[in-house]
Chains A and B, each alone.
Chain A
Amino acid sequence: MRLDSMEAICLGAKEAGAQFWEAVLLYDMEERQCIREESMAKMLTVWTAMVEASDSYTGQRRSVSGLVGGDGLKMRMYNRRGESLCGDYVGRVIAEALSMAESNACMRRIVAAPTAGSCGVLPAVLIPLWNQQKLTQRQVIEALYTASGIGAVIASKAGISGASGGCQAEIGSAAAMAAGALVHIQGGDMDMICNAVAIALKNLMGLICDPVAGLVEVPCVKRNVAGAMTAVSAADMALAGIESRVPVDQVIQAMGEVGRHMPLEFRETALGGLAATPFGKEIKQRQKERE
């Protein structure tokens, strides 16, 4: 089995009498020539690193440019007041996404998922459930295999770097991975996973990569929230039985196509979008003087 289409993983899983996540595990054992326990132990180190990154967030750090830091803490405090319009779970998701993306910008240790710039999306949807003891370690590991399989397919068919396909390729891919992970956790089947992935990608399609001064800060940190919220809604829709009209592999193909047609200005070059606003230019100038 190859991780080059969602269909291939689903077929591989059915042939092996396995679930989606397990097909990805079997792939890894074959690819890296290791036993089940070794693969799962490595996946556990990924999860441990995510939890440590979340636990060590204080909200006191600022990025090198000074543009980013402290918003995760603001959101945590706001949630504590019980005023969040989104409710408890999604309020926490927002806080986690901000915290993790800020930690990345502030040179803390994170897990690229699939990239450093989009590292907040996947842990943001999982950590609130974990902290409230709604998840077993086993469930988390299975969810991470599900997510990594989805990410591998998108990487092979469309690309996952902002430079090649814009923000849709980073935050969009992360949202698709997180959506699939949530569906698995909630007991959804393979078709539901595929639908969640398709819906998440469709809803972020076309998103450009326009970082102010070329730094992974503005708008990247808050885009992690957009990715996580999209993931939660896509998972809920899929679990409700809502289907993506366009099949998932065609959506992934289309996302890659959109990325290839995206002007260079919108692919991490910091020449367009928010980076080209008067504010963006001012920050770039200030940064240049410090270089």
Chain B
Amino acid sequence: MADIFDILGPIMVGPSSSHTAGAVRIGSMARTLLGERVVSADILLHGSFADTGHGHGTDRALLAGLLGMDPADLRIPNAFEEADKVGLKYTFGEIELMDAHPNSVVMDIVGESGLRLSIRASSIGGGRIMVNELDGIEVAFDGSFNTLVIHHVDEFGTIAEVSRLLSNYRINIANMRLSRHRRGGEALMIIETDQTVERKIIDWIREFHGIAKVTYYDKNKEAEYEA
């Protein structure tokens, strides 16, 4: 159903909810999913992002998000300077993707401790976004729920252990999707929850056998910025 604050809102830096506000959210989502400060970003723009991205400030908006800004941050127009200030190195290029949303971007980012993330995401209108691919694995989530992204090895029991832990803490799973490269190989669990997932729970999941990496996106953090 309609949220009247989607009609009067978002409060955002212009000029475009899809090319600017959505791009900030994609950058910020990428930073969250990396799980640490970003020191390097190789960014490839597709479709309308490539054609009109500079005029809409899409490039600055993506960097602003990677720097941790929200869509209403007045420093977005100065994102290049802000990136230089904190030593975030970046490159921009173009890419032609098959069957992708016209407002799509592919980013390879590296964090301060050397963590890496490859992400493909799109801005689907009104500032809303969709994450389409993580480290080469197809996914589909939009940040409208609290979201756990769990990289693990595809083997027996891992999924059961994670869901048991969540249920013990009365955390309801709204959506859950599993994707993998191949049987027994790298796999991804995307779990969208109704409740907030506390830090300690995330740390426990990290200790389970076969878990490679866990990151968490808290939708209320973003909601605060929106208000």
Contact = CB atoms under 8 A, between A and B. Distances in A.
B4 A216 contact: no
A272 B207 CA distance: 57
A152 interface: yes
B17 interface: yes
A45 interface: yes
Interface stretch (A81-89, A131-139, A140-148, A241-249): A140-148
Interface residues of A, number: 55
B55 A214 contact: yes
A291 B7 contact: no
Contact of A216 (B15, B54, B127): B15
Contact of B2 (A63, A156, A213, A216): A156
A213 B12 contact: no
Contacts of B125: 161, 163
Contact of B55 (A43, A64, A116): A64
Nearest to B127: A112
B72 interface: yes
A149 interface: yes
A214 B53 CA distance: 10
Interface residues of B, number: 36
B156 interface: no
B175 to A, nearest CB: 20
Interface string B41-73: 000000010111111110010000000000010
Contacts, number: 141
B4 A148 contact: yes
B227 A45 contact: yes
B126 interface: yes
Interface in B1-47: 1-5, 7-17, 20-21
Contacts of B159: none
Contacts of B20: 107, 116
A20 B125 CA distance: 29
A42 interface: yes
B15 A109 contact: no
Interface in A162-220: 163, 177, 213-217
A128 interface: no
B107 interface: no
B4 A27 contact: yes
A46 B9 contact: yes
Contacts of B76: 107
B129 to A, nearest CB: 15
A114 to B, nearest CB: 5
Contacts of B77: 107
Name the residue in B50, B56, B57, B126 with the highest tally of chain A Cβ atoms < 10 Å from its Cβ: B56
B201 interface: no
Given A31-B1, A116-B20, A291-B53, A46 B11 contact: yes
Contact of B8 (A31, A114, A213, A270): A114
Given A28-B5, A113-B9, 14 more contacts: A24-B4, A42-B227, A43-B8, A64-B56, A108-B74, A111-B9, A112-B10, A112-B126, A114-B7, A151-B4, A151-B7, A177-B7, A216-B15, A291-B50
Interface of B: 1-5, 7-17, 20-21, 48, 50-57, 60, 72, 74, 76-77, 125-127, 227
6 A-B pairs with least C-beta separation: A104-B14, A151-B7, A148-B4, A214-B52, A216-B15, A107-B77
